[in-house]
Amino acid sequence: MFRDKYRADNEKIKPDDALLKYLSVRMSDAAANGEQEPPVVRVSHKSRLLRGVAALAACLALLVSGGGLYIVFDDEKKEPDVTAEEIIKVKTGISYTELFELVKSMEPDTDDLVNDVGRKESISNGNQFEFKANQAVPAQGNSDPQSVALKDYSKTNIQVDGVDEADIIKTDGNFIYALSNGKLIITSIDRAEMKKVSTIDCTKYADKKDGSRPLEMYVNGDRLAVIKEVFDQRKTNTGTAENGYAYRDMMWYSTHTSIALYDIKDRSNPKLLSDLGQSGSYLSSRMVGKTLYFISNHYIYEAADKNKPETFVPMLYKNGNGRVIGADDITVSVKPQSRQYIVVTAVDFDRPTERVSSKTVFGCGSTIYASTENILIASGAQEISTQGDTSDTTTAATKEKSETSGGTQSSAYSPGAQPQPDLTNTAGKVVASESSNSDKGRKATYSFVTNLMRFSLDNGKIELAATGSVPGSLLNQFSMDEYNGHFRFVTTRSDYTEQISGSGNQSTVSVSGGDTSNNLYVLNSKMEIVGRIEDVAKGERVYSVRFSGDIGYFVTFRQVDPLFTVDLTDPASPKILSALKIPGFSEYLHPYSDGLLFGLGKDADENGRVKGLKLSMFDVSDPADVTEKHKLVLDKYWTDASYNHKAIIVSPQRGLIAFPCDNTYVIYSYDKNAGFSKAADFLIDEYNYILRGIYIDDMFYVCSDTAISAYSMDGYAKMATLKY
């Protein structure tokens, strides 16, 4: 049945124009609407197919392992290092001239850059503006919907108490806010009575011709923020090639991340207060109190022009007009690995027309963790250590020349970074394509590391406070945690070795991979490792992580599911207390109540063959003797909640666990004595995609991409459906 449904869904899928534009956006990520001081300018770009391919490669590299810049500095000397052996400087407040020289020195060949010949600039007549970080703005009226009617309702499932996360569906107990098909729809809720009160077209961007695509949102009292990616369609070049075939160049889309802030005191008439943006593709965001922090990755695709800072410096935007970020807010290493920035901005909902602060670091990131006081940005990188003669042993496999024997290199895993060996040859050998003057051979070991940037947060004031790194790769945001002034990380390490032997056209490269292993690290506020557990569960990798006070939990898997429990009471000496081995694995862990830990994952047989979804409730009352108290294997196989914690509701107070599953929405109840039991299984429409579930008092609402359906929680009888 599910296979037929899957086939029907795929036959129905037809990408619309907005989706196609969005895909182009993700492939381009270039600055748009640039401003040089003092005029406001709009920067135009053109591109050939090669740029699209390179941009796609950038996205893939980021998704695979998150390229990044490795910088670590000493708080006293302010001198960072790329490795433990090599000291370099970190510069804050670098001049545009210095930054241009740095970016220019890292440019690839001209053929790999955006073709800017004949580019024309148009100066906008829009309102010019200047950024003043702490400029006072009269506070707007803000009332809490709960003051109107106190209700018990579900909220977005978050990682850290007090730190809200954006989502596509939100509720305040009186209204449901849903992003669907480029629109934000506000629906009033009174049990089974639902009424659409307003719709915001999120595909429009300020007063410009540029378009945008909504990604996520926040609701806080009478303020609403929609996070969007903005794109600008450029003209395409058409013509006839010398061979007589017609051609059409790929369209180029400039993109940046934008936050549209609305006054929704009157839900039937939302009013746009401001549209604040910054260069780069959306990475993530968090909200502490009424301050929203959002982060983007900005990669420089085009050739840098010394007279046009917008070609090599990230931009800040307001209502469609932009300017380059101030030099005092830029931090850069002398030896960055890729032409990429992380941009972090804070916006106060009570002062929606101005950003509180913005910072950028010449580097990139892929995973975000946030507490009420810090944001951690992590990125994957690769270190290469070599042994033997490296004088001129260049091969098709590595395309590299190392200048010193036994040296260590640190390279970002991103466009322009160190290429990987060719592992496609089943014999593990690659014949060199270039000549070599040496037959002494060389051995290179590739190790993956996670580079870290810690930004301190103080009511919207953002500062880069420390940087560091840990060996291995993170799974997701739950692999990071902050507790009592220390930061905890769980990683999987997988190194491999490349042996080069012979010389000239007869040289070969043999690649051997080492077993994976897993590690836990504890760092202090300077991002220095103070405690560690290494080489756990060799041959397996991490599938889920959760920290809860002085206890940490992580699951690894190959054939069985070891749930490791770690005592972190002494940060300098973490200890594994127990390792529960059961078939299958948990992909998401959630502290349920005192002494209980919920796990959502997959069942597996004794040979490690994965079967259906599985619900587990672990008894963790004795960390040294953890047991699986209850489990339920489902006849279902896929759920968003496996990789997106926002898709699941875990409510110990109501004794329920709910999430979309295959093509339905399921609700399970949990009793400490009886265990799990199915409470409901909803199918709204055979061809609709179910997004989220929400409960408000005694009603449960299932939201798809086209409708909201209301069910009574007394038996889950369907009461009504509202089509968007």
Query: What is the pLDDT at residue 214?
Result: 94
C-beta atoms surrounding 138 within 10 Å: 7
* Cα 567 from chain centre: 29
Averaged in consecutive runs of 10 residues, what is the pLDDT profile of the chain (724 residues)?
44 40 40 36 35 38 34 32 33 80 81 44 30 32 42 95 97 96 96 96 76 94 95 58 54 77 97 95 96 95 90 92 92 72 96 94 91 95 75 38 32 34 35 42 86 94 93 97 98 88 76 87 97 95 96 88 94 97 93 96 83 95 97 92 96 96 93 96 77 96 93 96 92
Tokens of 2: 């599910």
Query: What is the pLDDT at residue 389?
Result: 59
Tokens of 35: 């401003």
Q: What does the alpha-carbon distance between residue 480 and residue 478 come to, in Å, rounded to a whole number?
A: 5
DSSP string for residues in 597-646: EEEEEEEE-TT--EEEEEEEEEE-SSTTS-EEEEEEE-S----GGGT-GG
Give the list of residues 6+ apart from residue 147 with CB closer than 8 angstroms, or none: none
Q: What does the alpha-carbon distance between residue 264 and residue 268 come to, in Å, rounded to a whole number?
A: 8
Query: What is the pLDDT at residue 184?
Result: 96
Cis check for the bond before 15: say yes or no (omega within 30 of 0). no
Q: What does the alpha-carbon distance between residue 473 and residue 659 come to, in Å, rounded to a whole number?
A: 28
Going by C-alpha positions, the residue among 683, 648, 677 that lies closest to residue 663 is 683
DSSP string for residues in 186-228: EEEEETTEEEEEEEEETTB-TTSS-EEEEEEEEEETTEEEEEE
Q: What does the alpha-carbon distance between residue 25 and residue 205 come to, in Å, rounded to a whole number?
A: 14
* CA angle centred on 344, ends 338 and 347, rounded to 5°: 160
Helix (H) or strand (E) holding 25: helix 17-28
Going by C-alpha positions, the residue among 235, 223, 228 that lies closest to residue 211 is 228
Helix (H) or strand (E) holding 45: none
Q: What does the alpha-carbon distance between residue 175 and residue 190 come to, in Å, rounded to a whole number?
A: 9
Q: CA of 507: how far to CAs of 441, 447, 651, in Å?
A: 9, 24, 61
Q: Indicate the SS3 state at residue 180.
A: strand
**How are beta strands 461-471 and 442-458 bridged, if at all?**
antiparallel
Residue 656 DSSP one-character state: E
First to last CA, the chain: 28
Strand order through the sheet with 675-682: 649-651, 656-661, 664-671, 675-682
Going by C-alpha positions, the residue among 130, 530, 178 that lies closest to residue 353 is 130
Q: What does the alpha-carbon distance between residue 488 and residue 579 come to, in Å, rounded to a whole number?
A: 19
Q: What does the alpha-carbon distance between residue 3 and residue 583 come to, in Å, rounded to a whole number?
A: 26
C-beta atoms surrounding 634 within 10 Å: 20
Q: Indicate the SS3 state at residue 536.
A: strand
Contact present, 262 and 226 (Cβ < 8 Å): yes
Q: CA of 604: how far to CAs of 410, 557, 627, 662, in Å?
A: 39, 10, 18, 18
* CA angle centred on 624, ends 622 and 630, rounded to 5°: 55
* CA angle centred on 70, ends 66 and 74, rounded to 5°: 145
Q: Is 315 left (phi over 0), alpha (psi -120 to 50) or beta?
A: beta
Query: What is the pLDDT at residue 621?
Result: 97
Q: What does the alpha-carbon distance between residue 15 and residue 30 come to, in Å, rounded to a whole number?
A: 23
Query: What is the pLDDT at residue 498?
Result: 84
Contact present, 128 and 36 (Cβ < 8 Å): no
Using CA atoms in the order 638, 639, 643, 649, what is the torsion angle rounded to 10 degrees? -150
